Structure 1
Amino acid sequence: MKIITDTGSLYSPEEGRKIGIDVLPLNVMVDHKNYQEYVDIQSSEFIEIVKQGHVPTSSQPAIGVTMETFEKYPDEEILVINMADGLSGTYQSTLGAKESIDNNENIHVINSMTLCGPERYLVEKAVQLKDEGLSLDHIMKELHKSIAAEKSFLIPQDFGFLKRGGRLTPLAATVGGMLKITPIMTTTKDAKRLEKFAMKKTFKSAIKEIIKAFQEMGVNEDYKIYVTHAGVLEQAQAAMAQIQEAFMNTVIELYELSPAFITQGGPGCIAIQTIRK
């Protein structure tokens, strides 16, 4: 069995090779120049380019690249874990690549309904279960159990990026003009867009609101929590410490967001997510 994912999982192709998976890079374009994230450009240098005033765009892996990857494994079952359909075109592009290949019954594509930390966890879980010798059907059922108990929040610094990306509900898009507030966004039930969850006066009170939401959904040591950021390490570490105090027995991991996500959320944004193991 071959496991394939995209860089929405925060895995680079090089990191993927180390654990025996293929990782397809998303693309970002700045000033008419195209980059494969984690291959041609890293998050820190991407943020610096964007801060200079350049407006980036992002796109899913080229369908031809996905097809070539599938064709490398004609005699193996292939499990693809893609970032949320709607927040990215990657899932639909992967389905298109599958349909373009003859004898594609061995290709199985999962819409993770999430991205970043929780998507990374799903990849790790799939690799672990594969190593334990579980069947493809069993692995897919276990992944869907985790997907059903996932929750994502985003605290943006610059609403312009979210508006340009079109990932907001119409109501949420009106929030961007409000000043001196900390907006909390969350994914819609179908995970295709972002909607307003709450508005708080301070960053610390916003984290407190997210902690409350996690407590209400029963987050405990059976979950993992992810804090990911776009170039604001100290603020992310402060959020992590605040969350860890509330969930002392829950594993929390900290990562830098990928260029494609920064294209949508903007520099300075912080994502806080959880998923059941």
Structure 2
Amino acid sequence: MEAERLLAQAGVDSPRADAELIAAHVLGVERGRLPMVPLVDPPVVDAIGQLVTQRAKRIPLQHLTGWAAMGQVTVDVGSGVFIPRPETELLLEWTLRQLRDVQRPIVVDLCTGSGALALAMAHERPDATVYAVDNDPVALSWARRNVEARASAGDTAVRLFSGDVADRMVFADLDGMVDAVVCNPPYVPEGTRVAPEVAGYDPPAAVFAGEGGLAVIRHVVNCAARLLRSGGVVAIEHDDRHGHSVPALLASRRVLSAVADHPDLAGRARFATARRGSAP
């Protein structure tokens, strides 16, 4: 496939998948149904070629299609908001398993960005009350757009707030009441060289963090420790170099136990979890 070759030459990590997703987007079909599509007209071929050319310039695929997936939902994305990654679905799946026997759970998504993780939780658990917060007004505008779209589609509306996880008053009225805290925070150590799709398009404040990438995560741990009820769980995505440091931060809080770290599909350390015990 010529599109795959061009994308591979440009250094795109998944050239075949991206070429197929572009074709599926233009044709308006699911990727798995591409082999069943008959020969297409030249204008459609040209449209596919134009998007492949743009992708070869390392413009993110999600910016070309205008959406990204998280679990069973899709959200609108574009300039000024972090693009959700497939790896975060592992954190989503883990959290849903922990809530399987919890009726009407309360869930908090910190550093929500586009709202993808919160909306995926709300979709899978329509009985849940899901809160989400971010401190960036542009990200919140995308999240608000996505929350409204999912509510119109029939999903339970996520309760969206502006706030900073470093503020001890964020969701203070929920202290000790939350069943699950989830977070995909900024965690890449400052100065790290990243892919062109990240460097040129993801907001730096949503990607990089000080203190070796742990600055925001420290606040997330503290926030989770006060929000969670006894038995509640927290799941925090982190850099693949944080497989020991983030679990150590969780373990440093005496109210948190059952600390564990989890790999992504490539075997790299990807997210850490813990459960709140009884207050000392």
For normalisation by structure 1, the TM-score amounts to: 0.37
Looking at CA atoms only, which structure, 1 or 2, has the larger radius of gyration? 2
Q: TM-score, normalised by structure 2?
A: 0.36
The one of the two structures with greater contact order (alpha-carbon pairs below 8 A, sep at least 6) is: 1
